Structure 1
Amino acid sequence: MMIDEQSDSNAAIVIGAGLGGLAAAMRLGAKGYAVTVLDRLDKPGGRGSSVTQDGHRFDLGPTIITVPQVYEALWAACGRDFHKDIDLRPMDPFYEVRWQDGSTFTARQDTDAMLAEVARLSPRDVKGYKRFLKDSEACYKVGFEGMVAKPMHRLWETIKVLPLFALLRADRSILGLAKARVKDPRLRMALSFHPLFIGGDPRHVTSMYALVAYLEKEFGVHYAMGGVQAIAQAMVGVIRSQGGQVRQGAEVDEILIKDGVARGVRLTDGQEIAADLVVSNADAGHTYQRLMRNAPRKRWTNQKLKSRRWSMGLFVWYFGTKGTAKMWPDVGHHTITNAPRYEGLLKDIFIKGKLADDMSLYIHRPSKTDPSVAPVGDDTFYVLSPVPHLGFDDPVDWAKEAEIYKAKVMAEVEKTIPGFAEHISTEMVLTPEDFRDRYLSPNGSGFSIEPRILQSAWFRPHNISEEAKGLFLVGAGTHPGAGVPGVISSAEVLAKLVPDAPVVPELKVAAE
């Protein structure tokens, strides 16, 4: 049992209705807690929420579902069937990668199809790609099966996997591994870019993230009809069926700490809510810097948090187009376009904090799969560009740069979707400043603390806080890290740390 003393109260508070917070509430509800989820936004999902504008649904954050078994396990823990609540569609192909020279790489689940793609681009690299697949499976067994859903708040849990990490050369970056296996620079990019989807610089993130290639190959890439927002809404339904509450428009201003123990929260309107179990799905940096600003902290001081390397920011342009559903048949659900530079652009984003003129883009066209995202005959898109976060000495002034940068993005998208701008009927933009203000994300980072090897496992903010008893953390900023499978798995870790809810006195009497 990780809580020193059991209270007679079974009340639990979850701060934030992001996917990690909702998963935490489901897990706690299954353990008998009376859960109240408090969230400042107008709908659940956090970064996985959506905005509907002029008939177009813009899914604001994650767009794909990998490792469906983590959702199946979450629903099963609550006595439910995930697939009865969510219509999950497999993607084939997963995505297409495009380069400036006109070459492409189509990622699929079938191994022979992938080998054919490698052979088409660079025949000499087929053997190296096969080695990379073996690397990815080994990394999956150690890094995913062995660590993701296990508590890592004790240093020994990290120390005991170090021999395996050394054997797998986890000190090498994912880009370093790709370079060791294949020669073609396009393939090196295609095998190493995945950490960008969880906020990591492929030049520095551990090669353990090769496990993503195995996850895709083994379990596929999926899309949830209705978007990730549909998953969030289904999670709310489960929580309420357990007797829990989800309150939108309720912002927590402070976690109340007394004698080193979490006792509840105070909202921005002054209301105080008591509970002996508090789970924060707010960013770990915001949790410690803001929500615990009046409590003494031993490890996660403001200076300690400031010294961390944070994930990059995101510039995301959402737009709808009129009458285009049958146009651009070669542009699928997921397309990735590459700048002429790969490593140089990464250095500008993660190290220099420079907003470069060139860019690599992720183009999301969900209307290819899901007609509910747009009016009949129309399309819904979003285009995402990795950019520097706001924590550099001379941060990007997005009030001045947003429209200028959007014009540059437009010119780049034109190469893939010719003439699209003439059909735009509605649009909106999110910059790192919006991530800071909407999601209370330190430095406007898209994915909290960057997942470098010395910022992972024990080195990351723990799921069980060392700063206050009865306080727990879930979500991207804690173990196991960012990405939807990671934040869902953080709630599984939570369930292993928190005992079943105590039987309150009233229930004891009723039972007698």
Structure 2
Amino acid sequence: MTVFGQPSADTDKAIVIGAGLGGLSAAMRLGAKGYAVTVLDRLDRAGGRGSSIDQNGHRFDLGPTIVTVPQLYRQLWEDCGEDFDRDVDLRPVEPFYEIRWQDGSVFTATGSTETMVAEVARLSPGDVKGYKRFLKDSARRYVVGYEGMVTKPMHKLWETIKVLPEFARLRADRSILGLARARVKDERLRMALSFHPLFIGGDPMHVTSMYALVSHLEKEYGVHYSVGGVQAIADAMVKVIERQGGQVIQGAEVDEILIETGSVQGVRLTDGAVMAAPLVVSNADAGHTYNHLLRNHRKRRWTRAKLKRSRWSMGLFVWYFGTKGTSAMWPDVGHHTILAGPRYEGLLQDIFMKGHLADDMSLYLHRPSVTDPGVAPAGGDTFYALSPVPHLGHDNPVDWSTEAAKYQEKVAAVLEQTLPGFQDHLSASLTFTPEDFRSRYLSPHGCGFSVEPRILQSAWFRPHNVSEEAKGLFLVGAGTHPGAGVPGVVASAKVLEQLVPDAPASRKTTLPMAAE
């Protein structure tokens, strides 16, 4: 076997564990640096949590549905000598989403500041001034937290220490919900300004107010949808990797990362096969990487005990369902809808702190067929309804073998208020619980988004992109810096690019722009 950094015919080989968006982005960037890359993935199609399932003519996006910061993808493609817009049909979604409360009130989010201020004035005239202050808060946090940190390595403590004065000035110690409380009085608006961290696994009552930057990010870059879903982006990534000379192997599960004399040697698969490489990038969950893939290696930092003490993101219950003959029904239901439950803070406490599966819920309803009719048979619709629920690591975890069907009935009752009669038109149906996230994605505790993005579990405090455990071992994806969410996992590969040297000069090439 080869040792990272020593002269060898194999020093240009790299293995990426997992074909999620982080792993595929990493493979693209390593390919552009001259490496011969092999991506190994246990599923039957690329994309990881961004993959899809087909049933009865419906294509279901299993995970992320919203594309933000499209320049991240365009830059990734450009750095590989490719053209993103030739490979992916990305379309803006306007309005971004709609929040509906049980009292019948509605808040519509758009890219227009003027329209958003009018929405606030309609709901709560006295909060307009506070909302404008929140917009300024969001813009300042975007500059510091996104532009200043997201694509920069944070494995050295100094990189985090030097931003602490700015964090203190911006009151990063205050939660995003705390910031919303300080700016607006209307409880509906407090929810509307603070719920975004839920889409990356964070409790709005405890994650830092730096996540207010999401409001600015949405306004600045818009909300987009990829025709064919996020799966189409993943498939396009695979094609770029193959054009670079790399390969993506599905149905190949890595069981162990092999280490010798402090350096990565390669990986062993579950079927016993060994693949040698001096550079290994894990896109598996950081918890799975350290607890399982490195189980025979004594850890210096991310020990089993340390991971057990960490706070993890919530679990997810997702109902994927298709309907027939409904494309003209429910004309007021758009691409993205948030159905707010009767409680906000109490529900968050049940999910994150108590580990209690409540009877009430808030749902994210995804209806891509209004933008992309091809996801459903003619005249039909494809949906998914997502409910945040406790992960499986709490005391007395939810027994989903007995609770799943009952919880689905409760979800259906909530959906009936927005999609009356939808159950009479069902043509496809499947559900995912935290048990499925644990078995399908090897996610610790069945979490939806790995380690929770609290302030002391971010930047240097999060599992590093360059591992302390072995020379030649790197991490990308939701469990490492900068964190969960599609922009975060794609950006983690940009961080990786800065940490990995170019492949030997004999392979290093400047790729021309792909021919039309």
Category of TM-score, reference length = shorter chain: over 0.9
Answer yes or no: is the 8 Å Cα contact 2:263–2:470 preserved in 1: yes
Distance in 1, matches of 2:347 and 2:114, equals 32
Distance in 2, matches of 1:255 and 1:504, equals 27
Hey, what does 2:225 align to over in structure 1?
Answer: 223
Answer yes or no: is the 8 Å Cα contact 1:6–1:502 preserved in 2: no
Aligned partner (choices 446, 466, 488) of residue 468 of structure 2: 466
Hey, what does 2:478 align to over in structure 1?
Answer: 476
Hey, what does 2:5 align to over in structure 1?
Answer: 5
Aligned partner (choices 453, 456, 459) of residue 454 of structure 1: 456
Hey, what does 1:359 align to over in structure 2?
Answer: 361
- RMSD over aligned Cα atoms: 1.2
Asked if residue 46 in structure 1 is aligned to residue 48 in structure 2, the reply is yes
| Shift in Å, 1:503 | 3.8
Counterpart of 2:419 in 1: which secondary structure?
Answer: coil
Aligned partner (choices 325, 330, 333) of residue 332 of structure 2: 330
| Shift in Å, 1:5 | 2.9
Distance in 2, matches of 1:272 and 1:505, equals 24
Hey, what does 1:199 align to over in structure 2?
Answer: 201
Aligned partner (choices 266, 277, 282) of residue 279 of structure 2: 277
| Shift in Å, 1:169 | 0.3
Aligned partner (choices 231, 236, 239) of residue 238 of structure 2: 236
| Shift in Å, 1:260 | 1.4
Hey, what does 1:21 align to over in structure 2?
Answer: 23
| Shift in Å, 1:4 | 7.8
Letter in 2 for 1:318: Y
Letter in 2 for 1:350: F
Distance in 1, matches of 2:427 and 2:53, equals 15
Answer yes or no: is the 8 Å Cα contact 1:199–1:311 preserved in 2: yes
Answer yes or no: is the 8 Å Cα contact 1:153–1:464 preserved in 2: yes
Asked if residue 431 in structure 1 is aligned to residue 448 in structure 2, the reply is no
Distance in 2, matches of 1:420 and 1:389, equals 29
Distance in 2, matches of 1:250 and 1:34, equals 18
| Shift in Å, 1:371 | 1.0
Answer yes or no: is the 8 Å Cα contact 2:33–2:508 preserved in 1: no
Letter in 2 for 1:63: T
Q: Which runs of 5+ in 2 are unaligned?
A: 510-516
Aligned partner (choices 78, 81, 97) of residue 80 of structure 2: 78
Change in CA separation of 1:474 and 1:506 when aligned onto 2, cut-off 3 Å = closer
Query: What pairs up with 1:110-509 in 2 under 5 angstroms?
Result: 110-503=112-505
| Shift in Å, 1:425 | 1.1
Q: How many aligned residue pairs are there?
A: 505
| Shift in Å, 1:505 | 9.9
Counterpart of 1:65 in 2: which secondary structure?
Answer: coil
Hey, what does 1:510 align to over in structure 2?
Answer: none
Distance in 2, matches of 1:315 and 1:468, equals 36
| TM-score (normalised: structure 1) | 0.98
Distance in 2, matches of 1:100 and 1:239, equals 47
Distance in 1, matches of 2:321 and 2:67, equals 22
Change in CA separation of 1:137 and 1:249 when aligned onto 2, cut-off 3 Å = same
Answer yes or no: is the 8 Å Cα contact 1:252–1:266 preserved in 2: yes
Counterpart of 1:279 in 2: which secondary structure?
Answer: strand
Asked if residue 98 in structure 1 is aligned to residue 100 in structure 2, the reply is yes
Deviation track 1:398-455 (CA, whole Å, cap 9, x = no partner) reads 0000000000000001111111111111100000000000000000000000000000
Deviation track 1:349-387 (CA, whole Å, cap 9, x = no partner) reads 000000000000000000000011000000000000000
Distance in 2, matches of 1:4 and 1:245, equals 21
Hey, what does 2:513 align to over in structure 1?
Answer: none
Distance in 2, matches of 1:75 and 1:480, equals 20
Asked if residue 67 in structure 1 is aligned to residue 41 in structure 2, the reply is no
Distance in 2, matches of 1:4 and 1:33, equals 13
Hey, what does 2:514 align to over in structure 1?
Answer: none
Distance in 1, matches of 2:72 and 2:46, equals 19
Distance in 2, matches of 1:330 and 1:185, equals 24
Deviation track 1:193-238 (CA, whole Å, cap 9, x = no partner) reads 0000000000000000000000000000000000000000000000
| Shift in Å, 1:502 | 1.4
Q: Which runs of 5+ in 1 are unaligned?
A: 508-512
| TM-score (normalised: structure 2) | 0.97
Distance in 1, matches of 2:162 and 2:48, equals 35
Counterpart of 1:140 in 2: which secondary structure?
Answer: helix
Answer yes or no: is the 8 Å Cα contact 1:262–1:276 preserved in 2: yes
Letter in 2 for 1:287: T
Distance in 2, matches of 1:294 and 1:494, equals 25
Distance in 1, matches of 2:89 and 2:123, equals 35
Distance in 2, matches of 1:372 and 1:150, equals 38
Answer yes or no: is the 8 Å Cα contact 1:10–1:503 preserved in 2: no
| Shift in Å, 1:7 | 4.2
Distance in 1, matches of 2:157 and 2:441, equals 30
After TM superposition, where is structure 1 displaced by more than 6 Å over at least 4 residues in a row? none
